[in-house]
Amino acid sequence: METTPSTETQSKAGFITRFVRWLFSWRTVRRGLIALVGLITFVALLITEENWRGKHDWERYKSEWEAKGERFDMAGVAPPPVPDDQNFFMAPIWAGVLNKQWDPKTEDWKLRDTNIVDRLRMQRDANLLGVESPNGGGSWEKGRITDLKPWQDYYRQAALQTNLFPVPPQPRAPAEDVLLALSKSDSAIEELRQASRRPYARFPINYDAGFDAVAASLDHFAELKRCAQMLQLRTIAELQLGRTEDALADTKLMLGLTDALRTEPFLISHLVRVALASITLQPIWEGLAQHKWSDSQLAELGEVLAKEDFLADYQFAMRGERACGNEAMARYRVGHFSTGSDNAQDLPRWLMPGGFFYQNQIVVDRLYQQFSLPAVDAAARRVHVEMCTTNALNAALGARTPYTIFARLLFPAFQKAALRFARIQTSADMASVACALERYRLAHGDYPGALDALAPKFIDKVPHDIINGQPLHYRRTDDPPPQGSGTAGGRFVIYSVGWNEKDDGGTVVVKKSGTPDIEQGDWVWQIPK
């Protein structure tokens, strides 16, 4: 028996048929195309206006500050070319490092010539099966002198697996065995010492490449840090054997390696420089703690330390970082995240108007000008902690908008940079004061009651606490001298109020990991018991 569709069903089918005919009719299609063209035109006009406004705002901002002496491009911060024969980084000892070429497409290193040996690579330790290198060495921050016995044992164990470190048939004094183990690098150290006397230091890289130039510098940084770590251990061994002239020469070489990065315009270059300076302070501190340095040696060290100006370096580094960021923004605007990128890293131009990057660039550069640079006053030797807080940053940025995306991503890390520069500057200042205190002790048999007694004979001017502008805290302790030591009694403590801006009585706060917490407690230089 056949069934007849209901009237309601027939009505629905008819409606659908009429709707489909209307939807695909020429009149409807024409109206849809007109609407689509109108929408595309409207969006294009918005993007064009956004791009014009962004570029106009950026050029106006840049012109305003360039008239005041600021530079926003890499050309304004890159070190000028220097003759190869006067460039530390072009000395023959660097041939092995320069043989490595950074490939931004593969983001890896490749060798230009497989026959060139990297003679600069200095090894303090090696990857050994079942043997860990000593990690509980000395720490000037915690007042702990290096124990070389674990290093002596390490090298004897290493000799069972590798010929990297020579060892004597029978153990001798730990310092002697450590120097023997490190002696494989003696010729490279002397060649490095000769190279360090060259008047200039400039990486042979394309500085205009911005952050890609940073990538091309990473191997230089790694080599310098390895050299400094090896020289630190060698210098400490020389001090323990009383070979102070050798120790002074190696300490000066470490300071020279640190200063080789001074003209590099990248923030990471200067953070590596901060790390090298901290490594160098350990043997200086140990020589002071054990009364190893002579008056003339102390005068030389104190003079060099007093000239260290990490606060001015901070200003230069932040301007360099700003220039790198501007170069990167220029790439983003044309749709590339990295040089030579031809893959998914390309940013579709139609998704992000160029004006979006211009406006983000203005926000970022304005924060440099309003916060990052004023946070450190190199002329007055002050660091303004209140300008480096998250609250200050959030207040400056205000509400979240598409124009603050890059600033919110970048600036929390930049705020930590001021902390690290302030910490190393304070450490260098306290080290120079400590050299003057030791000179005073050698002349008078004990430390003075106040730091004012040091100037101008033992130090030109006693530096102040760069955190609050007040005098550094100093007190003498009256522990008796070790019996038979031949030295006067007493110790001393110098300290800054540190990043928390609070006088904690010279207390060093240590994290669970065992490393000092430089955001809490005081920054301390002390002679241990």
Instruction: Tell me what pLDDT residue 95 has.
Output: 87
Mean pLDDT of 113-132: 81
Mean pLDDT of 120-127: 85
55: in domain: yes
pLDDT digits (tens, 9 = 90+) for 37-49: 666 665 566 667 6
Which tens digit of pLDDT belongs to each residue from 314-343?
999 999 999 998 988 888 777 655 444 444
Residue 142 lies in a domain: no
Question: With 50 as the cut, is the pLDDT of residue 350 above it?
Answer: no
pLDDT digits (tens, 9 = 90+) for 409-421: 888 777 789 999 9
| Tally of structural domains, the chain | 1
Q: What is the CA radius of gyration of the chain?
A: 31
User: Does any domain span residue 34?
Assistant: yes
**pLDDT above 70 for 514:** yes
Q: What is the pLDDT of residue 43?
A: 58
Q: Let me know if 53 is exposed, middle or buried by CB neighbors in 10 A (0-12, 13-18, 19+).
A: middle
Comparing 229 with 34, the larger pLDDT belongs to: 229
Ramachandran area for residue 274 (φ above 0: left; ψ -120 to 50: alpha; else beta): alpha
Percent of the chain's residues with pLDDT above 70: 83
The Cα–Cα gap between 172 and 149 comes to: 10
pLDDT at 130: 79
Provide the pLDDT for residue 448.
95
In a domain, 430, yes or no: no
pLDDT band with cut points at 50, 70 and 90 for residue 133 = confident
Mean pLDDT of 48-58: 79
The whole-chain average pLDDT of the chain stands at: 86
Whole-angstrom Cα distance, residue 161 to residue 392? 55
Q: What is the pLDDT of residues 207-264, one digit of tens each?
A: 888 887 887 788 888 889 999 999 999 999 999 999 999 999 999 999 999 999 999 9
Would you place residue 469 in the very low, low, confident or very high pLDDT band (cuts 50, 70, 90)?
A: very high
Q: Do residues 499 and 519 make contact, with C-beta atoms less than 8 angstroms apart?
A: yes
Pick from 18-32, 47-61, 410-424, 447-461: least confident: 18-32
Q: What does the pLDDT look like over 158-203, one tens digit per residue?
A: 999 988 899 999 999 999 999 999 999 999 999 999 999 999 999 9
**For residues 457-475, average pLDDT:** 96
Is 42 a member of any domain? Answer: yes
Q: What is the DSSP track for 222-277? A: HHHHHHHHHHHHHHHHHHHTT-HHHHHHHHHHHHHHHHTTTT---HHHHHHHHHHH
The answer on pLDDT for 33 being more than 90 is no
280 compared with 120, residue with greater pLDDT: 280
Is position 480 within any domain? no
**Whether the predicted pLDDT of 102 surpasses 80:** no
Percent of the chain with pLDDT over 90: 57
Q: Which helix (H) or strand (E) holds 100?
A: strand 100-103
Provide the sign of the torsion angle of the four alpha carbons 234, 240, 244, 245, taken in this order: negative
Q: Compute the C-alpha angle 469/473/476, nearest 5°.
A: 160
pLDDT score at 136: 62
Q: Do residues 153 and 169 touch, judged by C-beta distance below 8 A?
A: no
Confidence of residue 486 (pLDDT cuts 50, 70, 90): very low
pLDDT at 214: 83
Rounded CA-CA distance 36/440 in Å is: 85
Number of Cβ within 10 Å of residue 344's Cβ equals 7
Residues 399-427, mean pLDDT to the nearest whole number: 89
Residue 27 lies in a domain: yes
AA identity, residue 522? D
Identify whether 24 is part of a domain: yes
Mean pLDDT comparison of 97-106, 398-407, 419-428, 485-494, highest-scoring range = 419-428
Q: Who has greater pLDDT, 27 or 265?
A: 265
Which pLDDT score, from 0 to 100, does residue 22 have?
A: 59
Q: Where in the sequence is the domain holding 47, given as residue range(s)? A: 16-66
